[in-house]
A and B are shown apart, each in its own frame.
Chain A
Amino acid sequence: MDHLALHFGERALFEGLDFELERGELLAVLGPNGTGKTSLLRILLGLLEPSAGSVAIDGCPPRERCNRLGYVPQQRIFDRDVVLRGRDLVRLGLDGHRWGFGRFHTEDRARVDAALSEVGAAAYADAPIGRLSGGEQQRLRVAQALVADPVLILADEPLLSLDLAHQRGVVDLLDARRESAGTPVVFVTHDVNPVLHSVDRVLYLAPGSWAIGTPDDVLTSETLSRLYGTDVDVLRVRGRVVVVGTPDDQHVHHVENGH
């Protein structure tokens, strides 16, 4: 079962955070910079210890690494000259943390091939990765996250600097995985709109407070005004969510990059 229990009490960032992920659920983690979105992911990855509380992924603390986690990072373009093919990148997701050269069994090769075709990257899997486009590289990132058959997928702003078509492509890949394998996804983003139609629940981290629930419950003027302690307006414009009036007003750009 894909159940998570979280419990934290980190003084400045968030306190008493408590949720469980359902099978195949997509949880969007939203909120302005500096509220601990990335810290939350690092705790789930086992790279950061919460100051209080505990996390269990399938009944196991992240630090023990008894579970396979898929991680899709922000898109960072590979160096043009890096000696690596898409196929190699995906394989590293399978066994890159193990010692030695490793013998590449037919079974592993089949898994890498399956992950590559799952994201539609088979055609360019043997090209040097540095010479692929940003969208192609990000597809390979998703394949790398999927290849180890993860029990949970963590995505940290995976759509940043991708154009709209590629954004939709990445979200569709994650949706397909949730559908086929029931893998839950924790999706950190500053802009909920590209994933809005896929989101099951939203965890909104504001400075010093948080709220969790369905988008319709959380992304409202009332809830966000309460979180920020000031008047915040949430507008729905042609199916998009626009947040106006947060203290740092970083959400205004939602309006600009939309259509």
Chain B
Amino acid sequence: MFIQLLGYHFVHNALWAGAVAAVVSGAIGVFVVARGMSFAVHAISELGFTGATAALVVGIDPVLGILGGSLLVGLVLGLLSLRGRERDSAIGAVLAFGLGLGVLFLFLYQGYATEAINLLFGNIVGVSDGQLRDLAIVGGIVLVGLAVLYRPLLFSSVDPEIAAARGVPIRALSVAIFLLLALTTAEAIQVVGVLLVLTLVITPAAAAQRLTGRPGLALLFSVAISLASTEGGILLSLEKSWPTSFFITTISFAFYVAARLYDWSRGRQSRVSSGASLTAQALE
């Protein structure tokens, strides 16, 4: 059964689509985590939902709606370039309003409830060849964007004050990262759904930052964890026909817990050894 399914074209498409979304999400995730933008990811994703429901109402491809909704919110949040608590509350306000609109659009659409469920929780098996091509193009744009912006983005994420002093265009970078994030979110929504985007964008990067202090290596770990979770989740859902998103979130969460345990045990070891050397000094 499992081996048979692997021969189907739709399964190949699902695996490729998952791979594209996973690589892009894992890569941007390290910057999102470094800049404390988790809540913004959630907001952009929910507004993607609003965009999708609006698209359903007017009868166009919901993917275009997702892109439109998340890009609009990404642009607004990027231009505001708020920090700290003000950003938190502004995002909360925008998010709630956007979801309210989404509820209205769903009501007006009166179509199949499965459309809504698919948007919220993902539906990877329905990816067509055309959609896969679009996913790859958008994913390519994000990866090229991240590669070009890599150093100034890292600089302004970890050390904004000095980066500004060195002439790094902080505000333009903030807009750029939000727009790239919006594109990424639109990709991830098609795999894991609006509500579970964080499992690809945040969880792998959060796990990776527990494993290494090297920025480049953290990016690779994050991509690897995101990829392993997505592909593993899709394969498991072929074997046992539970929802794909459940498996993906479970695997990526398992990586996160394992990374925290690893970090904790390493910290304990170094504390124990420094404690031991202190004792040794005291005895001398």
Contacts and interface: CB of A to CB of B under 8 A. Distances in A.
Given A96-B154, A96-B166, A101 B215 contact: no
Contacts of A98: 151-152
Secondary structure dominating the interface of A: loop
Contacts of A154: 165
A83 B213 contact: yes
A101 B165 contact: no
B166 A83 contact: no
Interface string B184-224: 00000000000000000000000011101111001000000
Contacts of B155: 92, 96-97
B214 A101 contact: no
Given A82-B158, A83-B218, A84-B158, A92 B151 contact: yes
A83 B34 contact: yes
A71 B208 CA distance: 31
A97 B215 contact: no
A65 interface: yes
A173 to B, nearest CB: 17
B150 A100 contact: yes
A18 to B, nearest CB: 24
Interface in B158-180: 158-159, 161-168
A193 B226 CA distance: 53
B215 A84 contact: yes
A151 B239 CA distance: 65
B214 A76 contact: no
Contacts of B148: 99-100
B149 interface: yes
A100 B147 contact: yes
B63 interface: no
A188 to B, nearest CB: 13
B212 A96 contact: no
Interface in A73-106: 73, 76, 78, 81-85, 88-89, 92-93, 95-102
Size bracket, chain A contacts: 20 to 34
B215 A83 contact: yes
Contacts of B162: 71, 73, 92-93, 144
A128 interface: yes
B30 interface: yes
Contacts of A92: 151, 154-155, 158-159, 162-163
B198 to A, nearest CB: 17
B151 A102 contact: yes
A126 B213 CA distance: 8
A241 B91 CA distance: 50
Contacts of B210: 81
Interface in A88-144: 88-89, 92-93, 95-102, 126-129, 144
B192 to A, nearest CB: 24
Contact of B161 (A73, A99, A102): A73
Contacts of B209: 81, 83
A194 interface: no
Nearest to B209: A83
A45 B168 CA distance: 12
B218 A96 contact: no
A181 interface: no
B151 A99 contact: yes
Interface of A: 45-47, 65, 69, 71, 73, 76, 78, 81-85, 88-89, 92-93, 95-102, 126-129, 144, 154
Interface of B: 30, 34, 147-152, 154-155, 158-159, 161-168, 208-210, 212-215, 218
Q: Lowest 8 CB-CB distances: which A-B pairs, in order?
A: A128-B213, A96-B155, A71-B165, A83-B218, A97-B166, A83-B209, A92-B155, A85-B213
